[in-house]
Structure 1
Amino acid sequence: MEKRRWITMNYNLPTEPSRHRVAAWRALKKLGAVNVQQSMWVLAYNEKNYSSLEKIASDIENNRGEALLLDCVFFEKKHEDRVISLFHAVRDEEYQELINECVKYLKELEKEISIEKFTFAELEEEEEELTKLLAWYDKIAERDLFGAPESDSAKEKLLEIKQAFDEYSTLVYQHNSKESN
C-alpha cells in the first residue's frame, strides 16, 4: 500500500515586528495546516497545498525569516494517525464554534417571530447572516480533509437554520401580503 504524502513546513521569524509572525500563523490556519510542534506545521500533500505553502514560505523569507518545506511520509501508521487526530481536533473546534453561532442565529429568529418583527429589512439582515454561516461552513469543510466527527452535527445544524430561515421568510411574506391587501 502506498503511503500518504505530507508537506511539513518549519519556519522561524524575528519576534519583532510581531505582525509577520501573526500573518504567517493566520495564513497557515486559514489553509488548514495543523501545528504539530513549535514552528512545525503539517498538511496533506496536494498541488494546491504545496503552492499555498510556497507562497507562505516566500512571505516569511521576504520578512527576514527562514522557511523549510519538506515532502514526507510517516514511517509508522500510529504517527500518521496522531497527526490526523490533530486535524480532527482543530476541525471539530471550528465546527463547534460554527454550531454555537447557528444556535444564536436560531434564537435570533425565534425572538423576531415572538415580537412579530416581520419586516423586509429584518429578513434581508437574517439572510445575510445565514449566507455568512453557510460560507463559514464551506471554509471549514474545505479544510476538513479527513472527515472530522463534528462535521455531521454541523451539517445538521445548517439544515436546521436553513429551514428556520425559510419559515421566517414565509411569515414575513404572509404578514406583508396581508398589509398590502
Structure 2
Amino acid sequence: MSVTTAGAASSLRMHVWRKLKGLGALYLQQSVCLLPERPAVAAAVAELGERVLADGGRMRVVHIEVADEGERRELAGEMTATVDREYAEVLERLPSFFSELARESGRGRAIFAEVEESEADLEGFRSWVAKIESRDYFDAPRGDLVRAELVRAGETLAAFATAALAGEDADGATPSG
C-alpha cells in the first residue's frame, strides 16, 4: 500500500500513521507499507482509504505475493519482532501491578478504593494487550507469556478483592445477606 497526504489536511498524516501502525503495518519506505491479507485488515484499510480520499490524500492498495519463502519469513519476522517488543513492554510494566497489590496488602489497605483502582489498571493492561494481539499476525513468542501473566494478575486481584471484602465484613461495613 502507498499513501500520500501531501496537500491534504495536516491531521490526516497523523491519522494515517496511527491507523497503519495500529494495524501492524511494516513500512518498507516512507509512505509504502505492507500488511497481511486478512479480512479485518482489508476492511480497516478500505475505511482508511475512504478517509484519505475524502480528506484530499491518495492511497493505493496493491495486493502482492512474495514468491521467495525466505523473504516471506523475513517480512513476517520483522512484523513479529515489532509485536514481540510491545509484549515485552507489557511484561516490564506488569510487575508494578503485582507490587502495588502486595504493598497495599502488606499495609492492610485491601479496601474497596484500592480494588477499584487495581481493576482499572488491570483493564488497561487487558485493553493494551488486546490491541497488540490484533496485530500479532504470526504468533510472537512473548504472546503466551503475556496472556498467562494477565490471568495471574486477574487471580491476584480477585484474592485482593476477597481480602478487601473480608476486611469490610469484619468492620461491619457491608450489609449481611
TM-score higher than 0.5: yes
Contact in 1 for aligned 2:8/2:57 (Cα 8 Å): no
Partner AA of 1:77 in structure 2: E
| Paired position in structure 1 for 2:76 | 84
- From 115, 118, 123, the equivalent of 1:126 is 118
Please give the per-residue CA displacement for 1:139-166, whole angstroms capped at 9, x wherever unaligned: 2112211100111221222122112112
* Unpaired runs of at least 5, structure 2: none
**Aligned pairs, how many?**
173
Q: Does 1:23 align with 2:7?
A: no
Question: Displacement, 1:45?
Answer: 0.8
Contact kept, 8 Å, 1:118 with 1:176, in 2: the verdict is no
Of 143, 146, 149, the match for 1:154: 146
Q: TM-score, normalised by structure 2?
A: 0.88
Q: Deviations over 1:78-116 (max 9, x none)?
A: 111111011111111221122223122112112211222
Distance in 1 (CA, whole Å) between partners of 2:7 and 2:172 is 63
Matching residue within 46, 52, 75 for 2:67: 75
Counterpart amino acid of 2:40? K
CA contact (8 A) 1:118 1:175 kept: yes
1:15 Cα deviation from its structure 2 partner: 7.4
User: Which position in structure 2 is the counterpart of 1:98?
Assistant: 90
Distance 1:108 1:114 in 2: 10
User: What is the RMSD of the two structures over their aligned residues, measured on CA atoms?
Assistant: 1.9
Distance in 2, matches of 1:15 and 1:83, equals 31
Structure number having the greater strand percentage: 1
Superposition misfits of 4+ residues, deviation over 6 angstroms: none
1:20-55 deviation digits (Å, cap 9, x = unpaired): 111101111222222232222211112321121111
Q: Are the counterparts in 2 of residues 34 and 90 from structure 1 also a CA contact under 8 Å?
A: no
Secondary structure in 1 aligned to 2:67?
coil
User: Is structure 2 residue 133 aligned with structure 1 residue 135?
Assistant: no
**Identical-pair percentage:** 24
Q: CA deviation at 1:120?
A: 1.0
Unaligned runs of 5+ in 1: 1-8
